[in-house]
Amino acid sequence: MVVARVPFIAGNWKMNLDHLQAVAFVQKLHWALKDAKHDAASVEVGVFPPYTDLRTVQTLLDADKIPFALGAQDLSTQDAGAYTGEISGAFLAKLHCGYVIIGHSERRQYHAESDDVVAAKVQAALRHGLVPVICVGETAEDLEKFGASAVPVGQLEVALEGVPADADIVVAYEPVWAIGSGQAATPEQAQDVCATLRRVVGDKLGADAAARTRVLYGGSVKSGNIASFMREPDVDGALVGGASLVVDEFAAIIRFQKHVGV
């Protein structure tokens, strides 16, 4: 069975753009894509603002019927209670978030998030009907010691523990050495690891899940290299950091189809 996977271009704003800047950004992006006759059915666009922007962005998306998906950058393993500073998946679902990034390397690195915490967060997302965007990737040191796939495969195997076969998930391969470095993986490297991660999804959740699950590449994606990644059969989109903060650049990444095969 051949399943068409709608490409997903997701902008992870990280700790950038306050709620006023977020409104201006989303409006400008919408206009930029309207002018270009961007076809909302051929590519899904997602924005992942800081928590404090979510309410404002959600209101704008709903009011103006802007067809962007909304996601958060993290969530708590817990649903409610005495967890100061934490944000429940229940709150995110109420704000019409469809997605939540889990296990980003910056969470793993600066907040010591273990694979087990990541797995608990995946479960928390699924409890609230949020699609987890599960981030995995190797550091430069891992790459040297173990090659590209070993660490991301191990991370994904733990994250998928207890995930039902029919769960809607997204996997993002983000080599840590490529994030914010201007040094993207080659399309061949991205394809190799994304294909391997798809096999892990297949082993854990079955063939249907492997065929349907979108596997993204992230790390120094720009308008100039997106087409080369999207030509690869197992790369279904991109998780974009820095370039998702520049309207024209992000719009050009979203319109990548125009460049494919040119």
When the beta carbons of 162 and 180 are compared against ligand 13P, the nearer one is 180
Options 88-96, 201-209, 237-245, 246-254: segment touching ligand 13P (CB under 6 A): 237-245
Among 240, 252, 253, 254, binds ligand 13P (CB under 6 A): 240
147 binds ligand 13P, rule: CB under 6 A = no
30 is catalytic: no
- Shortest CB 245 distance to ligand 13P, Å: 9
Structure tokens at 55: 């309410």
Asked if 143 interacts with ligand 13P (CB under 6 A), we say no
The contacts of residue 246 (CB under 8 Å, 6+ apart) are none
From residue 53, give the alpha-carbon distance in Å to each of 34, 57, 72, 124, 261: 23, 6, 10, 21, 37
239, 247, 251, 254: which one binds ligand 13P (CB under 6 A):
239
- Is 241 among the residues that bind ligand 13P (CB under 6 A)? yes
Closest C-alpha to 138, from 123, 149, 122: 149
**Residue 177 burial class via C-beta count within 10 angstroms: exposed 0-12, middle 13-18, buried 19 and up:** buried
Helix (H) or strand (E) holding 36: none
Using CB under 6 A, which of 71, 132, 218, 237 touches ligand 13P?
A: 218
CA distance 161 to 193: 20
Of 83, 62, 44, give the one whose Cα is nearest residue 253: 44
Q: Which of residues 48-107 bind ligand 13P (CB under 6 A)?
A: 104
What distance, in Å, lies between the first and last C-alpha atoms of the chain? Answer: 29
CA distance 49 to 65: 18
Nearer to ligand 13P, 174 or 232 (CB): 174
Indicate whether 176 belongs to the interface with ligand 13P (CB under 6 A): no
Residue 242 interacting with ligand 13P (CB under 6 A):
yes
Considering the complex, state which of residue 108 and residue 255 has its C-beta at the smaller distance from ligand 13P.
108
Structure tokens at 222: 């720009």
- The catalytically annotated residue of 104, 106, 113, 138 is 104
Q: Which is nearer to ligand 13P, 158 or 246 (CB)?
A: 246
Query: Beta strand 99-102 with 170-173: parallel, antiparallel or unpaired?
Result: unpaired
Tokens for 206? 């079955």
Strand 237-240 relative to strand 8-12: parallel, antiparallel, unpaired? parallel
Quick one: which segment of 35-43, 82-90, 159-167, 174-182 binds ligand 13P (CB under 6 A)? 174-182
Q: Does 220 bind ligand 13P (CB under 6 A)?
A: yes
Q: Is 86 marked active-site? A: no
**Applying CB under 6 A, does 221 fall inside the site for ligand 13P?**
yes
Verify binding: residue 215, ligand 13P, rule CB under 6 A: no
Residues engaged in binding ligand 13P (CB under 6 A) = 12, 104, 174, 179-180, 218-221, 239-243
User: Which of the residues are catalytic?
Assistant: 104, 174
